[in-house]
Amino acid sequence: MLIKVLHAADFHLDSPFDSLSDEKARERRREQRELFLSLGEICNREGVGAVLLSGDLIDSDRSSLETCEILLEVFRSIKAEVFIAPGNHDFASPRSPYLTLRFPKNVHIFTSPEIRKLEFPERGFTVWGAGFTGDTSPPLLTGFRAEGEGVKILVMHGDVNQPKSPYNPISEAEIAESGLDYLALGHVHGFSGVKKAGRTYYAY
């Protein structure tokens, strides 16, 4: 079965943009929110089945009221299933919007460093995920192996080929042994292109 996914990360909503003037910083934050608001329209127009948000959606473990309202507005508009894996900036803390807001039922947030499995047999895919609970993370993918039918996806924030990284270091060997069809990553601020390790495709 084929599935269309939208994979994004590192929006850093509510970033203070300390290096900019107050006026420019406000303008950049407005542009960030406008970009995120386009997400729902793109997903619905393109018939996306799963939205994969791989961390640092927000710039810290708390967010402004305006950003909270935008998150809820966008997620309510999306017809697809939405999966969020908190990263080192927006880690899941007791004050995080991930734990304090009431999200729509189609939004699934991985608020534990233990990899969790969510099955959607009617849609033909299974999604695994894990999230940061602090601003650093030990390796999370070690020993993981995806089993089951359908398209196998994992959404996670992490650092590939950086063994000493404090941000969930991941090796290409672990990706190759994962049994996944696709690993959706966040942390690097740029599109990596779709890469392959073993039979698993992955990208930032």
The overall pTM is greater than 0.85: yes
Given a cut of 80, whether residue 1 has pLDDT beyond it is no
Q: What was the pLDDT predicted at 30? A: 84
How far apart, in whole angstroms, are the C-alpha atoms of residue 196 and residue 21?
42
For 103, residues 6+ apart whose C-beta sits below 8 A from its C-beta are: 71, 72, 75, 109
| pLDDT tens per residue across span 65-109 | 989 999 999 999 999 999 999 999 999 999 999 999 999 999 999
Q: Are 162 and 140 in contact (CB under 8 A)?
A: no
* Residue 156 predicted with pLDDT over 90: yes
Distance CA(117)–CA(132), nearest Å, equals 16
Q: Which tokens hold the place of 43?
A: 């997903």
With left for phi above 0 and alpha for psi between -120 and 50, is residue 106 left, alpha or beta?
alpha
Q: How far apart are CA 56 and CA 188, in angstroms?
A: 10
pLDDT at res. 15: 87
Cβ(8)–Cβ(36) below 8 Å: no
User: Over the stretch 14-46, which tens digit does the pLDDT of each residue have?
Assistant: 988 888 888 888 888 888 888 888 999 999 999
